Amino acid sequence: MKLKVEGMSCQHCVMRVQKALQEVPGVLAVRVDLNKGEADVTIKEGVFTQALIAAIKNAGYESKVL
């Protein structure tokens, strides 16, 4: 699943978003691209998109599904 992440400006931001997503139960892998402003998340079946968006919001960023 691809998410557009707004507000990232540096590698520290990338690490915060990556850590937040990895802590969501059912997330198998996360790849965050600063240049594209995107997160590519591999999830188990049954993981809700809203859980991912909420985790990113709690880390201080806005996101939406691409």
1-38 pLDDT per residue, tens: 999 999 999 999 999 999 999 999 999 999 999 999 99
Strands (DSSP E) along 1-66, which ranges? 2-6, 27-33, 38-43, 62-65
Using CA atoms, how far apart are residues 32 and 66, in angstroms rounded to an integer?
14
| 48 vs 63: CA distance, rounded Å | 14
**Burial zone of 26 (CB within 10 Å; 0-12 exposed, 13-18 middle, 19+ buried):** middle
pLDDT for res 43 = 97
Topology classification of domain 2-65: Alpha-Beta Plaits (3.30.70)
Given this model, what pLDDT does residue 44 score? 97
Spell out the domain ranges in the chain: 2-65
Average pLDDT, stretch 36-47?
Answer: 97
